[in-house]
Amino acid sequence: MTGLHERHLAVSPEWLSLYYRRPLELTRGEGRHVWDADGNRYLDFFGGILTTMTAHALPEVTKAVSEQAGRIIHSSTLYLNRPLVELAERVASLSGIPDARVFFTTSGTEANDTALLLATAHRGSNQILAMRNSYHGRSFSTVSVTGNRSWSPTAFSPLQTTYVHGGVRHRGPYADLGDAEFIEACVADLEDLLGHVRTPAALIAEPVQGVGGFTAPPDGLYAAFREVLDRHGVLWISDEVQTGWGRTGDHFWGWQAHAGNGPPDILTFAKGIGNGMSIGGVVARADVMNCLDAHSISTFGGSPVTMAAGLANLSYLLEHDLQGNARRVGGLLIERLRAVGARSPAVREVRGRGLMIGIELVRPGTDDADPDAASAVLEAARAGGLLIGKGGGHDTSVLRVAPPLSLTVAEAEEGAEILADALRAAG
């Protein structure tokens, strides 16, 4: 155990997780690579939990941060803030939500917390619908709408939450159905559910479940849900903390795979927009955003420095078509990983879209999740010079692959080879 690790354990909560038997201290990053305190170099396929969206040490972002810090670092939302207004204008335009208003926070947890506040105030109801296997943050309210037992440490809640089928395609009672029949069954379940509970304020859903192991329903499920929700006056919150900004390749936002009835009423975002700086936020129609009848501020949400970083990062992403790169290079990477998975009896499924890919591991010859194998592959990949993540339901048996969106073809092929070796070494 390193001295820093011992110091960490002495001052940190026991529930604050660290990866690896011998935890890493990352000291430097550049492009798609990071270095640890011992000088070891790694190809980064997790980006600080999908947060280093474009590249480590992106010159455009570091320059914007440095220049803004040299002018003024902090002011709060009590004062006009030019970078905040400029980024809000761009996000509102990109969101697809008509007459959109934007509120900046410091994290995805805080963004989802704000969305729940808006929805319950607007609808006058503390009933919330959420998806099974979901994750929405670590605050009291967001834990209470998280449908993943591993990440929900308390049964106490300020909200009445009911969990809906549909977020996991290939497990559960509808797994054997075709896509159209799967959607039909999930919609029927939602209709039935709404006949048994008081009218909820909102459904909150991740278009692709992140912590849940990059699971997703068939395209169109949330559009079909929206028809039901609209009839009952229930808002739709799309949690885009992990799916936003073009990561899925096919779409800029995850909700656009379910766009039959237009954009969500409320959209939340975070992670990648700041490329490591603390930015989260909420976009909503004006009537929803303006429904609060009390004052509010944010001391740190929309800081001049983080807004400058977000503007530079978003400009780089759009100017260099990183969504298109995620589609092209991500398509190649998932093809390579499916070929790797076909050779491993431990791999149940390789799924995903763009640069958001999950590899689900099971005990060979069974359908039983194998979290020990996931941990072993994580360690073996690190030994080979690759950093990945893991997740899943309450079993944490899914390897999560989500590199920066500027990933090159050569780096994708290198990472796939290291993963193939790691699966062999762990098996």
- Which structural domain range is residue 186 located in? 62-319
Query: Among 269, 290, 319, which residue terminates a domain?
Result: 319
Do residues 345 and 364 make contact, with C-beta atoms less than 8 angstroms apart?
Answer: yes
Q: How confident is the model at residue 418 (pLDDT cuts 50, 70, 90)?
A: very high
Task: Evaluate if residue 379 carries a pLDDT over 80.
Answer: yes
For position 298, which CATH number holds? 3.40.640.10
**Tens digit of each residue's pLDDT (9 = 90 or more) over 269-297:** 999 999 999 999 999 999 999 999 999 99
Domain identity same for 181 and 169: yes
Co-location of 340 and 408 in the same domain? yes
Binned at pLDDT 50, 70 and 90, residue 2 comes out as: confident
Q: Give the strand pairing for 389-391 and 398-401.
A: antiparallel
Residues 168, 291 share a domain: yes
Count of Cβ atoms closer than 10 Å to residue 129 Cβ: 25
pLDDT tens by residue, 323-362: 999 999 999 999 999 999 999 999 999 999 999 999 999 9
Q: Which two tokens stand for residue 195?
A: 């006949």
Are residues 189 and 73 part of one domain? yes
Q: Are residues 279 and 257 in the same domain?
A: yes
What mean pLDDT is predicted for residues 211-218?
A: 96
Q: Which of 282, 298, 319 is the last residue of a domain?
A: 319
> Span 244-255, mean pLDDT?
97
The pLDDT of 398-405, averaged and rounded, is 98
Q: Which of 46, 13, 54 is nearest to 246 (CA)?
A: 54
Q: Residue 50 and residue 318: Cα distance in Å, rounded? A: 18
Distance CA 250, CA 228 (A): 26
Name 79's Cβ contacts closer than 8 Å, sequence gap at least 6.
Answer: none
How far is residue 189's CA from residue 169's CA, in Å, rounded to a whole number?
15
Per-residue confidence (pLDDT) for residue 34, from 0 to 100: 98
Tokens of residue 85, six digits: 């207004």
Residues in the chain: 427
Q: Which whole number is the average pLDDT over 197-219?
A: 96
Per cent of the chain over pLDDT 70 is: 100
Other residues' Cβ atoms within 10 Å of the Cβ of residue 197: 12
Last residue of a domain, one of 319, 334, 354: 319
Helix (H, G, I), strand (E, B) or coil at 288: helix
Residues 28 and 74 reside in one and the same domain:
no
Q: Which sign does the torsion angle of CA 314, 316, 320, 322 carry?
A: negative
Residues 148 and 218 in one domain: yes
Task: Quote the CA–CA distance of 183 and 119 in Å, as a whole number.
Answer: 25
Sequence letter at residue 404:
P
Q: What is the pLDDT of residue 1?
A: 54
Q: Could you read off the pLDDT of 165-202 as tens digits, one per residue?
A: 999 999 999 999 999 999 999 999 999 999 999 899 99
Going 192 to 198 to 199 to 200, the CA torsion angle's sign is negative
Please give the sequence-ordered ranges of beta strands (E in DSSP) within 307-370, or none if there are none. 347-352, 357-361
Residues 72 and 205 in one domain: yes
> What's the pLDDT tens digit per position in 145-167?
999 988 899 888 899 999 999 99
Cα 323 off chain centre by: 16
The answer to whether residues 326 and 271 belong to one domain is no
What is the Cα–Cα distance from 157 to 331, expressed in whole angstroms? Answer: 41
Q: What tokens appear for 352 in the block?
A: 């995903």
In terms of domains, do 286 and 197 share one?
yes
Give the model's confidence band at 426: pLDDT under 50 very low, under 70 low, under 90 confident, else very high: confident
Asked if residue 34 lies in contact with residue 26, where contact means CB atoms within 8 angstroms, the answer is yes
Q: How many helices (H) and strands (E) does the chain have?
A: 13, 15
Give the mean pLDDT of 236-250.
98
**What is the three-class DSSP state of 62?**
helix
What is the pLDDT, as a whole number, of residue 151? 87
Average pLDDT, the chain: 96
72 and 23, same structural domain? no
315 and 326 fall within a common domain:
no
Q: How far apart are CA 253 and CA 239, in angstroms?
A: 10
CATH of residue 51's domain is: 3.90.1150.10
Say how far apart CA 135 and CA 189 lie, in whole Å: 21
Yes or no: say if 214 and 318 are a contact pair by the CB < 8 Å rule: no
Spatial contact of 205 and 119, defined as CB atoms under 8 Å apart: no
Place of tokens 């936020």: 281
Domain count, the chain: 2
